[in-house]
Amino acid sequence: MVHRRQVLVGSLALLGLGIRPAWADTQRLELTAGFTVPPLPYPYDALEPVIDERTMRFHHDKHHAAYVNALNAAIAKHPELIGQSVEQLLQNLDGIPADIRTAVRNHGGGHYNHSLFWESMRAPRPNNQPTSTLATVLQQKFGDFANFQEAFERAGLDVFGSGWVWLVGQPDGQLGIMTTANQDSPISVGATPLLGNDVWEHAYYLKYQNRRGDYLKAWWQVVNWPVVEQRYAAWVQTV
């Protein structure tokens, strides 16, 4: 039905009739309204040499796009969900129709986690650390910044298979390090992600091969701490 309608609209346009029935826009909205891959906030090679340009191109243009496409395909089966943000979907997985719940969890999570990830990075710089209140809070929580980094890296290394390592604001008002499997997202369990590193092999394998630990260690150079500090400040307002 959809294809016939598209052909009809296309045919009318070709004939130069300029006829555009009202349902055409509605139908088009149902087909195309949805999620899109946000552009990178920097060039593909901006994170070199920590993350190479080729990895960024594949990761952003192919992997993230695949999550978005699959999420849109899932939502198209339940148009009543159109209009919900990806956050709303992930925060209420139990309310998602059973036939697309896993798809929304995996691909919605993939879209949300990666969108957060791109914004969490910037061009590498030496001695890259937070400088505001977050620095003090991390020091109080972990002893010093190096201890925090070590705990974060260890958690990332301990993820079996594919997943993420996160610094989160916990529901109890404390900061914490957590990991998620696959594309599960902290917001589905009530935590607020402040910083996350992707430890799927697609994030590092071209440059680091099996050396996930080297990737985790090098990654600190590209963390966009001002963005993380903004997230922290916003989360503090909610607890």
Give contact residues for Fe ion (rule: CB under 5 A).
198, 200, 203
Output the smallest distance, CB 119 to Fe ion, in A. Answer: 14
60 versus 122: smaller Cβ distance to Fe ion: 60
Contact partners, residue 9, CB within 8 Å, separation at least 6: 20, 21, 24
Tokens of 25: 């826009």
Of all residues in the shown chain, the one whose CB is closest to Fe ion is 198
Q: Which position has the token pair 């986690």?
A: 113
Output the smallest distance, CB 164 to Fe ion, in A. Answer: 8
Give the type of residue at 185.
S
58 versus 145: smaller Cβ distance to Fe ion: 58
Positive or negative, the CA dihedral 50, 121, 57, 68 is: positive
Output the smallest distance, CB 185 to Fe ion, in A. Answer: 12
Output the smallest distance, CB 130 to Fe ion, in A. Answer: 24
Q: How far is CA 196 from the centre of its chain?
A: 9
For the beta carbon of residue 153, count every other beta carbon within 10 angstroms: 20
Output the smallest distance, CB 117 to Fe ion, in A. Answer: 7
Output the smallest distance, CB 153 to Fe ion, in A. Answer: 18
153 versus 198: smaller Cβ distance to Fe ion: 198
50 versus 175: smaller Cβ distance to Fe ion: 50
Q: What 3-state class would DSSP assign to 67?
A: helix
37 versus 203: smaller Cβ distance to Fe ion: 203
- Of 193, 230, 172, which is closest to residue 91 (Cα–Cα)? 193
9 versus 180: smaller Cβ distance to Fe ion: 180
Q: What ranges in the chain are assigned the alpha helix state H?
A: 2-14, 22-32, 53-56, 65-76, 86-91, 98-103, 109-119, 133-142, 145-158, 205-208, 212-219, 225-236
Output the smallest distance, CB 186 to Fe ion, in A. Answer: 15
Q: What 3-state class would DSSP assign to 120?
A: coil
90 versus 203: smaller Cβ distance to Fe ion: 203
Contact partners, residue 236, CB within 8 Å, separation at least 6: 169
